[in-house]
Amino acid sequence: MIRSNDRGIVLRRDNAGFDAAVLGTSNSACDPGRRPDILVQANDVFDVIAAVKQAGQQNLKIAMCSGGHSWAQNHIRNGGMLIDLSRLDSMVIDERGKRAIVGPACLGGPLDEQLAKLGLFFPIAHGYTVGIGGFLLQGGFGWNSRAVGLACESVVGLDIVLADGSLVHASEEENSDLFWAARGAGPGFFGVVVRFHLRLHPRPKFTGLKIQVFRMKHLEEVMRWADRVGREVASSVEFQIVLNRKAIGIFSHGIEVCAPVLAETRSEALEAVSFIDQSPIRSKASFTSPLVPMSLRTMMKSAEKVVLLPNVRWYADNMWIDDTIEPVLPVLRRAVDVQPPAPSHALWLNWNPPAHRPDMAFSVEGRTYLALYGGWKNASDDAQHATWAMDHMRELEPYSRGIQLADENTGRRPARFLSDKNMARLQQIRAERDPQGRFHSWMGHLAGQAA
Element (DSSP H or E) covering residue 376: strand 368-376
Are 59 and 199 contained in the same domain?
no
What pLDDT is attached to residue 449?
Answer: 39
3-state helix, strand, coil in the chain (%, to 5): 30, 25, 45
Distance of alpha carbon 429 from alpha carbon 423, whole angstroms: 10
Indicate left, alpha or beta for 348 from its phi (over 0: left) and psi (-120 to 50: alpha): beta
Are 267 and 328 contained in the same domain?
yes
| 5 is a domain residue | no
Q: What is the pTM of this model?
A: 0.95
Read off the pLDDT of residues 13-69 as tens digits, 9 standing for 90 and up: 999 999 999 999 999 999 999 999 999 999 999 999 999 999 999 999 999 999 999
Are 41 and 116 contained in the same domain?
no
Are 68 and 184 contained in the same domain?
no
Are 182 and 239 contained in the same domain?
no
Are 307 and 168 contained in the same domain?
no
Last residue of a domain, one of 41, 57, 84: 84
Read off the pLDDT of residues 185-233 as tens digits, 9 standing for 90 and up: 999 999 999 999 999 999 999 999 999 999 999 999 999 999 999 999 9
Are 48 and 98 contained in the same domain?
no
Cβ neighbors of 355 (< 8 A, separation 6 or more) are: none
Are 26 and 172 contained in the same domain?
no
Distance of alpha carbon 63 from alpha carbon 297, whole angstroms: 31
| 160 is a domain residue | yes
Residue 445 confidence class, pLDDT cut points 50, 70, 90: low
In this structure, what CATH number is given to the domain that contains residue 110?
3.30.465.10
Last residue of a domain, one of 203, 222, 245: 203
CB atoms near residue 294 (< 10 Å): 15
In this structure, what CATH number is given to the domain that contains residue 217?
3.40.462.20
| 101 is a domain residue | yes
Quote the number of domains for the chain.
Answer: 3
Are 190 and 217 contained in the same domain?
no
| 270 is a domain residue | yes
For residue 294, give the DSSP letter.
Answer: -
| 319 is a domain residue | yes
At CA 418, angle to CA 414 and CA 422, rounded to 5?
Answer: 135
Residues in the chain: 451
| 421 is a domain residue | no
| 445 is a domain residue | no
Structural domain for 21, as ranges? 10-84
At CA 302, angle to CA 243 and CA 294, rounded to 5?
Answer: 110
Read off the pLDDT of residues 71-122 as tens digits, 9 standing for 90 and up: 999 999 999 999 999 999 999 999 999 999 999 999 999 999 999 999 999 9
